[in-house]
């Protein structure tokens, strides 16, 4: 089976930079996705990494190290609206087309 | 691109009743997924369609659950003889050429079984 570990909660101040880590154990690995979910809302796609390295999209960046079974989401210039839950999710080889999600990291941005 | 839509957004039912949810994916997406999410957890995979073919079903999906995608466009998820444990958010997602790593979710249907 697959297991993913993320911190349950992270707090940061507006304007700061925060990193949310995700480690995974899988029987095979294809790629790592990140989703944002506000309370009561649907998950929103942020990024997908299949290869090692850093992918940047505006204020958000995502990193993957396949050899370390590790990835992170980096949020820069934090804004209050970034307060949400962030989920990492893996797509595994031989696992069909489903994503397996972590339990999520609750990010609180304070003034 | 109008995004993924789901209907209804909220459903309250009594235990033992049947319920049906509908999902309309992004029009050019041929892959459609159903997930279930409970409070404090990430979405859990239920089932996957490529066009009209149901290619995967989770072991979580008991015999009381059935899903269809008859013309490869919209999909329905039916729960028969609902139980209180079925109370959850039911999410639909779709993906296209970028593959399963890039899935776009609908707003979900929140089910409460009394």
Q: For B71, which DSSP code?
A: T
**Cβ–Cβ < 8 Å for A111, A16:** no
Interface touch B101/A91, C-beta < 8 Å: yes
pLDDT, tens digit, for every residue of B32-73?
999 999 998 999 999 999 999 999 898 878 899 999 999 889
Tallying the residues shown for chain A, one arrives at 111
Listed residue (B70, B77, B111, B71) closest to B93, CA to CA: B77
With 80 as the cut, is the pLDDT of residue A99 above it? yes
Judged by phi (left if over 0) then psi (alpha if -120 to 50, else beta), residue B16 lies in left
Interface touch B56/A96, C-beta < 8 Å: yes
pLDDT of residue B101: 76
Cβ contacts of B99 on chain A, cutoff 8 Å: 91, 97
pLDDT, tens digit, for every residue of A14-27?
999 999 999 999 88
pLDDT of residue B9: 96
Interface touch A104/B42, C-beta < 8 Å: yes
- State the best of B46, B100, B106 to mutate against chain A, taking most chain A CBs within 10 Å: B100
- Measured between CB atoms, which of A30, A45, A87 is closest to B104? A45
Cβ contacts of A57 on chain B, cutoff 8 Å: none
Listed residue (B38, B50, B42, B36) closest to A33, CA to CA: B42
């Amino acid at each position: 089976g697959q297991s993913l570990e993320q911190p349950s909660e992270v707090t940061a101040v507006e304007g700061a930079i925060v990193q949310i880590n995700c480690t995974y154990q899988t029987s095979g690995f294809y790629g790592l996705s990140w989703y944002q979910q506000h309370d009561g809302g649907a998950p929103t796609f942020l990024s997908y990494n299949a290869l090692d390295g850093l992918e940047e999209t505006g204020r958000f960046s995502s990193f993957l190290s396949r050899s370390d079974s590790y990835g992170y989401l980096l949020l820069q210039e934090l804004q209050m609206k970034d307060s949400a839950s962030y989920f990492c999710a893996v797509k595994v080889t031989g696992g069909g087309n489903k994503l397996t999600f972590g339990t999520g990291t609750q990010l609180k941005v304070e003034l | 691109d109008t995004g993924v839509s789901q209907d209804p957004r909220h459903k309250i039912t009594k235990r033992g009743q049947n319920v049906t949810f509908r999902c309309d994916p992004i029009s050019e997406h041929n892959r459609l997924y159903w997930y279930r999410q409970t409070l404090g957890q990430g979405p859990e995979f239920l089932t996957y369609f490529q066009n009209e073919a149901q290619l995967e079903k989770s072991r979580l999906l008991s015999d009381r659950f059935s899903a269809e995608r008859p013309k490869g466009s919209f999909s329905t998820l039916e729960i028969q003889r609902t139980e209180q444990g079925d109370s959850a958010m039911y999410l639909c997602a779709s993906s296209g050429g970028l593959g399963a790593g890039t899935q776009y979710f609908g707003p979900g249907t929140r089910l409460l079984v009394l």
